[in-house]
Amino acid sequence: MSPLGDPDLDVPAQTVPLADDGGDPLSGAADRRDIEVTQLTRSLYPEADIMVDPNDGYTMTAMADYLEAVAACGLFWIEEPFQERRSDFGHL
């Protein structure tokens, strides 16, 4: 993969599609894979803005766990981390 970027902004970026294993978010293989892929992306593209899109695949709590695990990666963008639930808004 090569870094992608907006030519008008001259910002290199790398998109990381997170796993959708059809199971519980952060239930084992998917969460480890997502963490490893995010960390590998950072090591391969140290200057890139990393964007992740879990496609509503996490719970709010699981997303917080993922973010803690990849905190050193300095994510630039997170899109659709979890389905919006009224109960989750109180935690935000």
pLDDT one-digit tens code per residue, 27-44: 555 688 899 999 999 999
Say if 3 falls within a structural domain: no
How many CA atoms, within 13 angstroms, populate the side-chain half-sphere of residue 74? 8
Q: Say which residue, 73 or 15, is predicted with more confidence.
A: 73
Say if 90 falls within a structural domain: no
Residue for token pair 């391969």 = 44
pLDDT one-digit tens code per residue, 30-80: 688 899 999 999 999 999 999 998 888 888 888 888 999 999 999 999 998
Say if 91 falls within a structural domain: no
Say if 21 falls within a structural domain: yes
Say if 6 falls within a structural domain: no
The pairs formed by 39-44 with CB atoms below 8 angstroms and a separation of 24 or more are 39/70, 39/72, 39/73, 41/14, 41/16, 41/73, 42/70, 42/72, 42/73, 42/74
Say if 77 falls within a structural domain: yes
pLDDT of residue 67: 92
Work out the angle at residue 46's Cα, subtended by the Cα atoms of residues 2 and 80, and round it to the nearest 5 degrees. 75
Q: Which range marks the domain in which residue 58 is found?
A: 11-83
Counted domains in the chain:
1
Say if 50 falls within a structural domain: yes
Residue for token pair 């997502």 = 34
